[in-house]
A and B are shown apart, each in its own frame.
Chain A
Amino acid sequence: AQKVTQAQTEISVVEKEDVTLDCVYETRDTTYYLFWYKQPPSGELVFLIRRNSFDEQNEISGRYSWNFQKSTSSFNFTITASQVVDSAVYFCALRPNTGGFKTIFGAGTRLFVKA
């Protein structure tokens, strides 16, 4: 089965706090890609990062960092020093190498950052 689970439905933090959004995936493919997207209130999905299954190196981009752990099938996303503009729904997604390049999304985590 191909599946993405984002167990946290909603998270509320105060500005400047760090917050981690969890993502656990399932796939039998040995080659696959993982993504994080941000969906602000305006509705569009904004691409944040892509990781392939052979690259477990963690990545940092400004206040964003991602922790890919193949052993636990997790791809967690941390926002450091959160800001009000980070308030959005965040989706983790999986694209297995088979199955017609279909991207499978998690249900999303709604992040509220309060001033």
Chain B
Amino acid sequence: EAGVVQSPRYKIIEKKQPVAFWCNPISGHNTLYWYRQNLGQGPELLIRYENEEAVDDSQLPKDRFSAERLKGVDSTLKIQPAELGDSAVYLCTSSHSPRAFLMNTEAFFGQGTRLTVV
């Protein structure tokens, strides 16, 4: 079974430029999460999708960040314009619906996109 696939692995951009990250979750996983992991810290949730619906985006800085999950499969996370403080690893993870969580499902993480804003 293929894991969660993210691209690109690395991205270096100048501040004020736009950037987009792409995530292909595990087939059949309804739930998709984007996390941001700053250097030396644990991941922090940015947004959670149930199928194509963003059900928790309370942590997403909406002035510059946007995300979409068309057709409830692949997802993109965009930053426009990027700031120096956005430098981090952006992790995508997928799982079966949390409602199935009691049935011992688990979330699987991609390798992440390491963004450096200069």
Chain A residues in contact with chain B, CB under 8 A? 4, 33, 37, 42-47, 50, 91, 93, 100-103, 105-108
Q: Is B20 an interface residue (CB 8 A)?
A: no
From DSSP, what is the main secondary structure of chain B's interface residues? mixed
Distance of A73 from chain B, by nearest CB (Å) = 17
Closest A residue to B98 using CB positions:
A101
Tell me the residues in window 79-118 of chain B with beta carbons closer than 8 Å to chain A beta carbons.
Answer: 89, 91, 93, 98, 101, 104, 106-112, 114
Tell me the residues in window 53-77 of chain B with beta carbons closer than 8 Å to chain A beta carbons.
Answer: 55-56
Count residues of B near A (Cβ-Cβ below 8 Å). 24
Determine whether the beta carbon of A107 is less than 8 Å from that of B56.
Answer: no
Alpha-carbon gap, A91 to B42, bound state (A): 7
Q: A107 is contacted by which of B3, B41, B110 (Cβ under 8 Å)?
A: B41
Distance of B109 from chain A, by nearest CB (Å) = 4
Chain B residues in contact with chain A, CB under 8 A? 3, 40-45, 48, 55-56, 89, 91, 93, 98, 101, 104, 106-112, 114
Q: Known interface pairs A42-B111, A47-B107, A50-B106. Does A101 touch B42 (Cβ–Cβ under 8 Å)?
A: no
Determine whether the beta carbon of B112 is less than 8 Å from that of A43.
Answer: yes
Determine whether the beta carbon of A44 is less than 8 Å from that of B109.
Answer: yes
Distance of A75 from chain B, by nearest CB (Å) = 14
Determine whether the beta carbon of A108 is less than 8 Å from that of B41.
Answer: yes
The 10 lowest CB-CB distance pairs between A and B, nearest first, are A105-B42, A45-B109, A101-B98, A44-B111, A100-B56, A43-B111, A43-B112, A105-B43, A91-B42, A107-B41
